[in-house]
């Protein structure tokens, strides 16, 4: 059995009242080397105030171990290795590595004897070329913690016949009660005697050792003199069966700390379980709700109910014509019988009796308040003609100057004016710059050149399904969206019920929006954007052509209401029906250029012609 026992001893000089603690410990409390192999033992000098000059002598059993290297001096006969370091590093610990070779399978003790550690604050003690620089003050030495720090660990293959003179069996009987006398150092001028009293097994007490300077207050120490220390006393002082390598106070603190840590871990674990258990009930309840909601959706009665509401709210005549109209719209988008269109117009004119309806371009401009003025707006985008596949590629191409940009005019010198109370339809094929125009008008984009005069505070942009957070409930979304588009909290509080009622989502406001159908989402979006009479300029981007037709009628009614109230509306739509039916003016933009502004009917006709012509060419 190889048992290497580590024995640590620390002598710490203290400066005046400074209770500097210093330790010498080994990297591990035991080593189990393989026979004939070299192994390393870490010797650590630790001092809270920073390690200064230090001197350590390590004793070992020369019968079992062979010193290989790592120290600054050795005495193989007596089994001593000397480590001297006269600078230190000022850090909390300094490490020295000793290399030993295991001679035979046996046990041995390694112990540190006669250690001197100076705190870094003592520049006086640092040796220079072997000369002794005296320390100005008397030095007190204290042993803190346990002077003896051994441990036993079972090693590899036990070979009883090769046991050295020290037998492990004997050790436990020998209680380390001996008093060790140690001459720490002797200099010609002065000498200090240190009485080291290794504690008993309990390891509980710190043993203070006082070095009494014999002559005067000045103590000087040289590292070389450390050789005089007799290690034998320490060999006897060790005990195999001391179990702890740490000194007591440190151990107590860690114990305390890890106890708290464990308690926190267990505590939060319990809290976690409890909360999970609580939330499971909540979760169940939520699921139930969701189920109810699905039922409601699938329930045909529910649908019918809402339909009736619609019908009640809308004037009969309007309802009929619009229902008819939307039927056409569903079947054949662009081919309305002339009569229907005319009837539509007539109905609209009679029903709404809007003062703006008959206003056209021929009226003197001064009569009306200009709310939006788009002047010579050009929007230019840079599109790179080459798409690099990554940064590396990009850099290579940049170096090669392969990257060029293509200019794309999303809008090219577009100008028109919109007057208060107008309902303006904007048409054009996909990618012709309609959305860009809306973004510029609403202030989200700045044009490359030209100017747009509009009071941006009054503009309300409504696009489909944007800005809703699917993970939030409808109520939260109302507040979030409302705040973004500029409603104050008070305003939303006041109009909340109206919004819900208009969107017909009374029963679903606490539901997450991700469970909504797209129609429900757009209803809510429309309801928020048109809440109260907040919007003076309303921009609708493809909003009116979605949702069920009942809601569409309702929203048209709302828009007409707003026009009554003096709002100006911009509608972007691909549905000619919507444009023809609602607008008083139409703007046609094609490939960034303004094609036509004027009466909706004329513009729509022209637009349809172009499309037909293109289709013909395509065919």
Partner 1 sequence: MKGRFSDILQYVFVIRELTSREIKRKYARSSLGIIWSVLNPLLMMVVMSLIFSTMFKRSIENFPIYYLTGQTIWGLFSGATNSAMTALVDNKSLLIKAKLPKHTFILSRVYTALVNFGYTCIAYVLMLFIFRIKFTLTMLLFPVGILFALIFSIGMGYLLATEYVFFADIKYLYGIFLTLLMYMSAIFYPVDNLPEMVQKVVNMNPVYLQILFARECVMYGHVPETWVWIRLSIWSIASVVVGMIVFKIQENKIMQTI
Q: Which residues bind partner 1 (CB under 8 A)?
A: 46, 48, 91-93, 250, 254, 257-258, 260-261, 264-265, 268, 271-272, 275-276, 279-280, 282-283, 381, 390-391, 439, 442-446, 456-457, 459, 461, 463, 466-467, 469, 471-472, 476, 479-480, 483-486, 488-489
Q: Give residues with Cβ within 8 angstroms of 455, minimum separation 6.
A: 371, 536, 537
**CB nearer partner 1, residue 308 or residue 455:** 455
- Kindly state the smallest distance separating residue 27's Cβ from partner 1, in Å: 13
**CB nearer partner 1, residue 267 or residue 315:** 267
Report the distance separating Cα 232 and Cα 98, nearest Å: 20
The two tokens of residue 292 are: 């109810």
Which DSSP helix (H) or strand (E) runs through 501?
Answer: helix 489-503
- 8 Å CB contact between 538 and 568: yes
User: Nearest CA to 84 among 123, 121, 52?
Assistant: 52
**CB nearer partner 1, residue 228 or residue 518:** 518
**CB nearer partner 1, residue 63 or residue 473:** 473
Report the distance separating Cα 522 and Cα 318, nearest Å: 23
- Kindly state the smallest distance separating residue 573's Cβ from partner 1, in Å: 18
The two tokens of residue 386 are: 């080459």
Cα 259 to its chain centre, rounded Å, is 30
**CB nearer partner 1, residue 180 or residue 440:** 440
- Kindly state the smallest distance separating residue 453's Cβ from partner 1, in Å: 16
User: Nearest CA to 6 among 65, 71, 88, 74?
Assistant: 65
- Kindly state the smallest distance separating residue 78's Cβ from partner 1, in Å: 32
Cβ-count burial 33-50 (b if 16+ within 10 Å, e if not): bebeeebebebbbbbebb
**CB nearer partner 1, residue 168 or residue 467:** 467
**CB nearer partner 1, residue 268 or residue 306:** 268
**CB nearer partner 1, residue 40 or residue 286:** 286
- Kindly state the smallest distance separating residue 369's Cβ from partner 1, in Å: 21
Report the distance separating Cα 118 and Cα 138, nearest Å: 13
- Kindly state the smallest distance separating residue 598's Cβ from partner 1, in Å: 29
In three state form, how does the secondary structure of 140-165 look?
A: EEECCCCCCCCCCCCCCCCCHHHCCC
- Kindly state the smallest distance separating residue 520's Cβ from partner 1, in Å: 18
Helix%, strand%, coil% for the chain, nearest 5: 35, 25, 40
Report the distance separating Cα 276 and Cα 270, nearest Å: 10
**CB nearer partner 1, residue 197 or residue 485:** 485
- Kindly state the smallest distance separating residue 463's Cβ from partner 1, in Å: 7
* φ, ψ dihedrals at 206, nearest 5°: -85, 135
Q: What is the tally of helices (H) and strands (E) in the chain?
A: 13, 22
**CB nearer partner 1, residue 318 or residue 562:** 562
- Kindly state the smallest distance separating residue 257's Cβ from partner 1, in Å: 6
**CB nearer partner 1, residue 106 or residue 463:** 463
**CB nearer partner 1, residue 475 or residue 608:** 475
**CB nearer partner 1, residue 138 or residue 388:** 388
Report the distance separating Cα 250 and Cα 145, nearest Å: 9
Please name the residue that has the structure tokens 């700045």: 446
- Kindly state the smallest distance separating residue 163's Cβ from partner 1, in Å: 35
- 8 Å CB contact between 581 and 406: no
User: Nearest CA to 547 among 570, 565, 521?
Assistant: 521
- 8 Å CB contact between 136 and 121: no
- Kindly state the smallest distance separating residue 575's Cβ from partner 1, in Å: 22
The two tokens of residue 408 are: 């794309």
- Kindly state the smallest distance separating residue 122's Cβ from partner 1, in Å: 19
Q: Give residues with Cβ within 8 angstroms of 201, minimum separation 6.
A: 175, 176, 239, 241, 242
User: Nearest CA to 244 among 145, 317, 154?
Assistant: 145
- Kindly state the smallest distance separating residue 261's Cβ from partner 1, in Å: 5
Cα 216 to its chain centre, rounded Å, is 64
CA distances from 369 to 356, 563, 572, 583 (A): 12, 14, 22, 18
Taking each helix axis as running N to C, give the angle between helix 300-313 and helix 549-564, from 0 to 180 degrees, rounded to the nearest 10: 30
- Kindly state the smallest distance separating residue 210's Cβ from partner 1, in Å: 25
User: Nearest CA to 537 among 484, 482, 459, 457?
Assistant: 459
**CB nearer partner 1, residue 138 or residue 486:** 486
């Amino acid at each position: 059995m190889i048992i290497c026992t580590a024995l640590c001893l620390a002598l710490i000089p203290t400066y005046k009242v400074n209770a500097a603690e210093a330790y010498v410990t080994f990297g591990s409390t035991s080593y189990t080397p393989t026979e004939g192999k070299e192994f390393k033992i870490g010797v650590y000098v630790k001092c809270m105030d920073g390690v200064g000059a230090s001197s350590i002598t390590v004793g070992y059993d020369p019968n079992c171990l062979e010193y290989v290297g790592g120290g600054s001096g050795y005495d193989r006969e007596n089994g001593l290795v000397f480590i001297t370091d006269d600078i230190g590093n000022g850090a909390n610990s300094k490490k020295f590595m000793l290399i030993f070779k295991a001679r035979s399978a046996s046990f041995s003790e390694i112990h540190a004897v006669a250690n001197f550690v100076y705190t870094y604050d003592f520049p006086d003690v640092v040796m220079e070329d072997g000369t002794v620089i005296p320390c100005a003050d008397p030095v007190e030495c204290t042993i803190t913690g346990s002077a003896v720090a051994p441990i036993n660990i079972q090693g590899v293959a036990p070979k009883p016949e090769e046991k050295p003179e020290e037998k492990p069996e004997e050790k436990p009987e020998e209680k380390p009660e001996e008093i060790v006398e140690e001459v720490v150092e002797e200099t010609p001028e002065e000498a200090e005697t240190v009485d080291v009293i290794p504690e008993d097994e309990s390891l509980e007490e710190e043993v203070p050792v006082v070095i009494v300077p014999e002559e005067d207050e000045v103590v000087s120490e040289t590292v070389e003199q450390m050789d005089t220390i007799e290690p034998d006393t320490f060999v006897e002082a060790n005990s195999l069966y001391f179990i702890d390598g740490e000194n007591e106070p440190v151990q107590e603190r860690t114990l305390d700390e890890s106890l708290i840590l464990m308690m926190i871990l267990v505590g939060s674990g319990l809290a976690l379980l409890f909360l999970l258990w609580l939330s499971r009930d909540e979760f169940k309840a939520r699921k139930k709700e969701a189920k109810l909601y699905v039922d409601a959706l699938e329930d045909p009665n529910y649908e019918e109910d809402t339909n009736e509401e619609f019908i009640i709210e809308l004037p009969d005549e309007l309802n009929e014509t619009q229902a008819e109209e939307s039927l056409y719209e569903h079947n054949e988008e662009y081919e309305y019988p002339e009569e229907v269109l005319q009837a539509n117009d007539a109905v609209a004119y009679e029903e709404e009796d809007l003062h703006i309806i008959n206003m056209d371009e021929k009226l003197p401009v001064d009569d009306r308040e200009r709310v939006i003025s788009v002047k010579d707006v050009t929007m230019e985008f840079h599109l790179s003609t080459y798409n690099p596949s990554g940064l590396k590629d990009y850099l290579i191409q940049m170096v090669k100057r392969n990257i060029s940009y293509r200019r794309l005019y999303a809008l090219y010198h577009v100008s028109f004016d919109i007057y208060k109370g107008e309902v303006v339809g904007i048409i054009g094929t996909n990618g012709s710059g309609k959305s860009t125009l809306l973004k510029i008008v609403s202030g989200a984009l700045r044009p490359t050149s030209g100017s747009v005069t509009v009071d941006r505070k009054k503009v309300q942009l409504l696009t489909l399904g944007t800005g809703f957070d699917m993970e939030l409930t409808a109520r939260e979304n109302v507040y979030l969206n409302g705040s973004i588009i500029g409603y104050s909290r008070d305003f939303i509080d006041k109009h909340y019920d109206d919004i819900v009622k208009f969107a017909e989502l009374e029963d679903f406001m606490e539901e997450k929006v991700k469970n909504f159908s797209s129609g429900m989402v757009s209803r809510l979006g429309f309801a928020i954007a048109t809440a109260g009479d907040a919007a003076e300029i309303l921009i609708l981007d493809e909003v009116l052509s979605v949702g069920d037709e009942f809601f569409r009628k309702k929203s048209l009614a709302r828009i007409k209401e707003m026009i009554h109230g003096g709002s100006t509306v911009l509608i972007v739509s691909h549905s000619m029906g919507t444009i023809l039916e609602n607008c008083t003016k139409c703007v046609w933009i094609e490939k960034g250029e303004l094609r036509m502004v004027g009466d909706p009917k004329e513009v729509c006709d022209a637009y349809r012609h172009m499309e037909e012509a293109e289709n013909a060419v395509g065919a």
